[in-house]
Amino acid sequence: MAKRKKIAAGNWKMNMGYEEGRILARKVVDGVVRSDVTVILGVPFIHLKSMENILGGISNIHVAAQNCHQEEGGAYTGEISASHLTSVGTSYVILGHSERREYFGEGAALLAKKTDIVLKHGMKPIFCCGENLEIREKGTHVKLVSKQIKDALFHLSDEDFRKVVIAYEPIWAIGTGVTASAQQAQDMHKDIRALIAKKYGAETADLTSILYGGSVKPANAKELFAMPDVDGGLVGGASLKAGDFTQIVAAF
């Protein structure tokens, strides 16, 4: 029986001012009733320090950054380093979100470096992958997602790979209101797990949490999370409403 974590991760993206974010986080803390689900709030950098105070001491609620620079530090004006993140209690970092791939040109080589530095500093990457509609319609989505994972992650040792959370996020489902069907998510997650098993063995594959992302809402979370290879969700829009997000956490 798999011991992998059930995870509900929110991605606030570039939303929520300082006070709004504090209020939302407090509501989430008050509304989360499950202690067997790892809850992660992916917040803008300005919130990281105050989240430490709001979430501190609750063992299953963690904070994630949405990006991290690949270098240790130095003359990179405007960037945030891994040690900045750990200095304010960050434990997870979302990497390779499709918005960063598309708008900031992030590709496999860069993401491999970012993954390395995040792990080196003792944080866990939430590594996003997923195809656009054109690729899905062509039927080459499994090939593309496999390549995204192999190229950015398969240099890792088995020990490090076990710290990675995978988030499969079909781009055509992100922020569109169109969700992949539970079966479409399951099929891709099963293929991802098989790919991991081939490289790292069945035990590591079985321990890897694979999240689905793309218009997860209270109305579809239960069906998605009931799939054997769907270990939770990376949630954008619905994570901005405490009631919706806590219902999603309760949907496992």
Binding mask 50-89 for ligand PEP (x = CB under 6 A): ----------------------------------------
Give the total of residues touching ligand PEP (CB under 6 A). 14
130 near ligand PEP (CB under 6 A): no
Nearer to ligand PEP, 13 or 47 (CB): 13
Nearer to ligand PEP, 118 or 205 (CB): 118
Cα–Cα dist 193/195, whole Å? 5
108: Cα separation from own chain's centroid: 17
Q: Which residue in the shown chain puts its C-beta closest to ligand PEP?
A: 236
Active site residue 97: yes
Catalytic hit among 97, 121, 141, 189: 97
Catalytic hit among 62, 131, 169, 189: 169
> Minimum distance from CB of 236 to ligand PEP (Å)?
2
> Minimum distance from CB of 154 to ligand PEP (Å)?
23
Q: Which of residues 193-252 bind ligand PEP (CB under 6 A)?
A: 213-216, 234-238
Active site residue 189: no
Are the CB atoms for 39 and 233 separated by under 8 Å?
A: no
Helices (H), 17-138: 18-31, 48-55, 82-87, 98-103, 108-120, 133-138
Binding mask 153-192 for ligand PEP (x = CB under 6 A): ----------------x----xx-----------------
CA-angle at 159, arms to 158 and 165, nearest 5°: 85
> Minimum distance from CB of 235 to ligand PEP (Å)?
5
Q: Map residue 7 onto helix, strand or coil.
A: strand
Q: Return the structure tokens found at 201.
A: 């063995």
DSSP assignment of 116-167, as one string?
A: HHHHHTT-EEEEEE---HHHHHHT-HHHHHHHHHHHHHTTS-HHHHTT-EEE
Phi/psi at 221 (5° precision)? -65, -40
Are the CB atoms for 174 and 241 separated by under 8 Å?
A: no
Which residues make up the interface to ligand PEP (CB under 6 A)? Answer: 11, 13, 169, 174-175, 213-216, 234-238
Report the catalytic residues.
Answer: 97, 169
